[in-house]
Amino acid sequence: MTLYGVYAVKSAAITAFAVTDPGLKRSNNEDACAVYPDQGCAAVADGVGGAAAGEVASRLFISSVARYINQMQDWSEGACVAAIKEIFSTANEMILHHIGIHPECHGMSCTAELLLVSSGGFVVGHVGDSRSYRFRNKSLTRLTSDHTFVQQQLDKGELTAEEARKHRYRNLITRAVGNDEVLDVDIIRGRTRPGDLFLLCSDGLTDMVREEEITVCLGRDGDLPEKTAQLVAMANRAGGRDNITVALVGVA
């Protein structure tokens, strides 16, 4: 699902755009994404499982977002945190329920990013190795930490950043929506400033395009559809080994 809009969330003017692309090597697309203009919301999910229907898991996550977001009335920080926890929990239950009915789907899950923007602030929910970033004053800040074996080794100082980027197990995730009955969701929150640009993406982008290159792209002139298209094209030019999903949310 790809939606685009310019809208107001309380006192903040927001623009949002999302796109997903199969890349150059995969016959199907297990990613899913959506933006919800009236609610200041963006979501990205990357299905895990291949033959075990990873694309079903990612779409179940997006459907959980849609089901909850359209009913929200309170956009305080506390309400946004509660909403994110409920959305992830519901998606986790939906995926596990689907696996219970369809045993052939055992092993399917998804990584997921969910951003909610309200007046003056933002909240991000994060599980897996998809990522959320904030671009501010020409500087890119990663808001999330990958739930991967390689990130654990990197945090311990046992790998350098360059070694981690090329490691054979760099895509071995340690946490995903639909893996366990109890899901631990990282919650990141902060204040927004005029000109902030949030990027949510699957690892199909970040495995192929360095953060320095992403920074340059986001700093160029152009609207959000142009920038998402440029990021997808950059990932494909670098090889396009995976599905590529990009969501951008701008604060005026």
Q: How many domains does the chain have?
A: 1
CATH number of 131's domain: 3.60.40.10
Task: Kindly state whether residue 31 falls inside one of the protein's structural domains.
Answer: yes
Looking at residue 52, its pLDDT comes to 66
Written as tens digits, the pLDDT of the chain (252 aa) is: 344 344 334 445 888 999 999 999 998 999 999 998 778 899 999 999 866 689 999 999 999 999 999 888 888 999 999 999 999 999 999 999 999 999 999 999 999 999 999 878 999 999 999 999 999 999 999 999 999 887 777 767 666 676 666 766 667 899 999 999 999 999 999 999 999 999 999 999 999 999 999 999 999 999 999 999 999 999 999 999 999 999 999 998
179 vs 165: CA distance, rounded Å? 25
Task: Kindly state whether residue 33 falls inside one of the protein's structural domains.
Answer: yes
The pTM (predicted TM-score) of the whole model is 0.92
67 vs 71: CA distance, rounded Å? 7
Looking at residue 168, its pLDDT comes to 65
Looking at residue 1, its pLDDT comes to 39
Looking at residue 4, its pLDDT comes to 39
Looking at residue 6, its pLDDT comes to 40
Task: Kindly state whether residue 168 falls inside one of the protein's structural domains.
Answer: no
Looking at residue 10, its pLDDT comes to 42
178 vs 106: CA distance, rounded Å? 10
Domain that holds residue 204: 4-143+176-251
Looking at residue 181, its pLDDT comes to 95
Written as one string, the DSSP assignment of 144-186 is: ----BHHHHHHHTTSS-HHHHHH-TTTT-BS--BTSSSS---E
Looking at residue 2, its pLDDT comes to 41
Looking at residue 13, its pLDDT comes to 81
Task: Kindly state whether residue 102 falls inside one of the protein's structural domains.
Answer: yes
Closest CA to 90 of 122, 117, 125: 125
Q: Which tokens in the block code for residue 177?
A: 């929506």
Cα 178 to chain centroid distance, Å, stands at: 16
77 vs 61: CA distance, rounded Å? 22
Cα 155 to chain centroid distance, Å, stands at: 21
115 vs 64: CA distance, rounded Å? 14
Task: Kindly state whether residue 158 falls inside one of the protein's structural domains.
Answer: no
Task: Kindly state whether residue 155 falls inside one of the protein's structural domains.
Answer: no
Per-residue CA distances from 93 to 55, 62, 64, 178 (Å): 16, 13, 10, 7
Q: Specify whether the CB–CB gap between 1 and 33 falls below 8 A.
A: yes
Written as one string, the DSSP assignment of 96-133 is: HHHHHH-GGGTT-EEEEEEEEEETTEEEEEEESS-EEE
Task: Kindly state whether residue 231 falls inside one of the protein's structural domains.
Answer: yes
Task: Kindly state whether residue 207 falls inside one of the protein's structural domains.
Answer: yes
Closest CA to 64 of 37, 48, 41: 41
